[in-house]
Structure 1
Amino acid sequence: MKHVIKADGTRQPYDRYRVMRTARNYGVPDDYVIEVAAEVERHLYDGIRTRDVLRMIHTYARKYQPGVEGRTNVRRAIGMLSPKPDFELYVRALLKGSGYEVEEGRILKGRCGEHEVDAIARKDGITYFVEVKHHHNHHRMTGLDEGRIARAIVEDVQEGYKSGRNHFTIDKAMIVCNTKLSAHAKQYAACWDIKHIGWDNPKEENIASMVANRRLCPITLIKGVNARMRKRLVNAGIVTVGQLLGESPDVVAEKSGIPVEEIRFLADRAKKLEP
C-alpha cells in the first residue's frame, strides 16, 4: 500500500476516493473522475506529498474541465473575505443555497448567561445555532476550541429554555469554517453530535462540494474585485457570484455605489466562471 505525506508531515494511506472527490469538486463530470484517478495512480509512489498529488489532479482534470483553474482558486478567494461581516454573510448565503432556512444571528439566553450567535439555520426539522470561523490562511487547521464552546452553548441554551428564561431553543450546534479540521476537532464534533462543516468535511456536505455550484462562490473569485469593491458589495448584501448576477447591473450599482460600467465588467467576468 502506498502512502502520502500531508502538509503537517504525517503519513496516511493513499485514498482513491479522495482523488475522485477532489476531481469532482473541480467540476470534472462523474464519468471522467475515475480517469483522473487512474492518471494520478500511474505516477504515484510511496511517500509522495499531498501537494504533488493535488498538482497532478489539477493537471489531469483540465483535460475534462477547462474551468478548473478558477475552481482551484476558490479557497484562496474565501480566505480574502474579512471575518466580519463578509464571511458571516457568505456562510448564510452558502447554507441558504444548500437548502437551509437561514435567519440572522441573535442573542440566545441560557440558564447561566447570554450567547450571541452568528445565524440560525433549519433543515430536516432540526434547528441549529451557527458559529462561523474564518482564517485568512486557508492552509491553517481549525482545532478543538470552537467545538468545546459550541457544546457549552447548546447545554446552557437548552437549560435556559427548560427554566423559562428563553422561549426559543435549538437542537444542535453548527460550526462552519473555511479550512480543514484537525483530527481532534473531527473526533470531538462527532462524539458530541456537533455539525462541523469545513473545507472538505463532512464528506456529504462540505464547503468544497457546496461551491461546486459556481453561483455560490464568493465575489472575491471574480478577477477585478478589489478591496474597495468588495466592501461596497458586501455592504449591499452581495457576497456570492449568484447574488451579483441575480440583479441587473443598474440595481447593483445603485445599491453598492459602484459605477454601473464597473458592475457590467464584473458581471461579464462572473458569467465566465459558470460551467
Structure 2
Amino acid sequence: MAKLVNVIKATGEIEPFSEEKVISSLVKAGASLEVAREIVAKVKPHLYQNIPTFEIYSTVMGLLKRRQRGVAEKYNLKKAIMDLGPTGFPFEKFVAEVLKRLGHREVATNQIIQGKCVAHEVDIVAKNKERYMIECKFHAIPGGRTDIKVALYTYARFLDIKHQGFDMPWLITNTKVTSEVKAYALCVGMRVTAWDYPEGEGLNEMIDKSGLYPVTASTRLSEKEKKQLVEKGIVFIKDI
C-alpha cells in the first residue's frame, strides 16, 4: 500500500496529496486527461512528507510548459493575478476590461462619488441590468481569504451612495471568501465574485469567458519583463 503523503497549503493547513485534484485542475485549464495523468506520474516521485503545495505547483508548471504552453498560461492564472500587485490598481484595470468584454456598459474606474455623509472613491462603476458599485479587493499573497470586514464596509459604502443611482454593491476579489461573507451577502443582497465562487461564475470563469489573460500569465516573459510591463500599465497578454 502506498504511503500517504501530506501537503502544506499556502494557508498553513495540512491535507493529503490528491492526484485527482491535480488532474482536475489541469483538465480544467485545458490539458487532455492523458497529459494530466502523465504529469502527475512524473510529479509523484518528487513528493515528500509535508511538501509545500507551491513546490508541487512549480513542478507541474515546468512539465506543462514543455507539453502545452498555452494551457500553462491558464493553469498559471491564480498566481498571475496575484503577480499584478503589490498595489490593487492593475487588478482594478484588469477587472474593468473583463467586465467590458462581458457586455457591461458605462464601465469606469476610480470614481469619486459624493455620499450622504462623505465622498467615496469607488473602484469600478459598471452597468448591466443594474448599476453596480464595485469594490475590488486584491490580495498579493497566496493563502489569504476575503473576510467579513470587507463585506461590511463594502455594503456600508453602498448605503451612503445608493441615492446616486446605484442598484447593487458588488464585491470582486482574487481570493476565496469566508462562509460569513457568503451568508452576509446573501442576506443583504450584495453580489460577490471570488475565486471559484459562485460555482461556475467565479472570477476565474469570468476571465476564461472574456478571453482576456494577464500579462503576468505569460510563459514566454521573464519575471522582470512582466513587472516592467505592469509598471507601464500594460496588464493584458493581448497588448504585448
Q: Same-fold call, TM > 0.5?
A: yes
User: Could you tell me whether the CA contact under 8 Å between 1:214 and 1:241 is conserved in 2?
Assistant: no
- 1:175 maps to 171
The TM-score, its normalising length taken from structure 1, stands at 0.62
Relative to structure 1, the CA distance from residue 189 to residue 215 in structure 2 (aligned partners, 3 Å threshold; closer, same or farther) is: same
Q: How many residues get paired?
A: 207
Deviation string for 1:209-251 (max 9, x for gaps)? Answer: 123258411111222334223212x0xxx32123x1xxxxxxx
Gaps of 5+ in 2: 1-5, 41-50
Q: How many percent of aligned residue pairs carry the same amino acid?
A: 24
- 1:78 maps to 81
- 1:257 maps to none
Residue type of the alignment partner of 1:73 = N
- 1:107 maps to 112
- 1:156 maps to 160
Counterpart secondary structure, 1:117: strand
- 2:71 maps to 68
Residue type of the alignment partner of 1:174 = W
2:99 pairs, out of 92, 95, 109, with 95
Relative to structure 1, the CA distance from residue 191 to residue 22 in structure 2 (aligned partners, 3 Å threshold; closer, same or farther) is: farther
- Give, in whole Å, the separation in 2 of the partners of 1:10 and 1:192: 34
- 1:254 maps to none
The TM-score, its normalising length taken from structure 2, stands at 0.70
- 2:231 maps to 231
- Give, in whole Å, the separation in 1 of the partners of 2:24 and 2:127: 27
Larger-gyration structure (1/2):
1
- Give, in whole Å, the separation in 1 of the partners of 2:31 and 2:91: 27
User: Could you tell me whether the CA contact under 8 Å between 1:115 and 1:153 is conserved in 2?
Assistant: yes
- 1:216 maps to 212
Q: Give the CA RMSD over aligned residues.
A: 3.6
- Give, in whole Å, the separation in 1 of the partners of 2:185 and 2:172: 12
Gaps of 5+ in 1: 40-48, 162-167, 245-266, 268-275
User: Could you tell me whether the CA contact under 8 Å between 1:25 and 1:208 is conserved in 2?
Assistant: no
- Give, in whole Å, the separation in 2 of the partners of 1:240 and 1:88: 13
User: Could you tell me whether the CA contact under 8 Å between 2:98 and 2:210 is conserved in 1?
Assistant: no
Greater RCO (Cα-Cα under 8 Å, separation 6 or more): 2
2:186 maps to 1:190 = yes
- 1:122 maps to 127
- Give, in whole Å, the separation in 2 of the partners of 1:210 and 1:24: 18
Q: Could you tell me how far 1:138 is from its partner in structure 2?
A: 3.0
Q: Could you tell me how far 1:19 is from its partner in structure 2?
A: 8.4
